[in-house]
Amino acid sequence: MDAPEKSHSLSRRRWFAGAGAVGAVAAVAAVAPKAVVQTEAAQAPAPGARPGGGYRLSEHVKRYYQTTRV
């Protein structure tokens, strides 16, 4: 009697494990295309941008520097 019961629980465990795996794959598949699009957009340089020219002394930065003076 124990053998049929054991095989039944084993198949139930296998079914739940498979369902969990399918859910995980579906979640990754839903997020993956968005990540690829964002990565491509982030790598594209802005028109007229200088390489390595990320810092600019703008009015906003000057105002911040004034607030940090003691």
What pTM was computed for the model?
0.35
* pLDDT for 48: 61
pLDDT along the chain (70 residues), means of 10: 60 83 80 62 60 79 90
User: In sequence order, what DSSP letters do the residues of 1-70 get, joined into one string?
Assistant: -HHHHHHHHHHHHHHHHHHHHHHHHHHHHHHHHHHHHHHHHHHSPPTTPPTT------HHHHHHHHHH--
Which residue ranges make up each domain of the chain?
Answer: 1-46
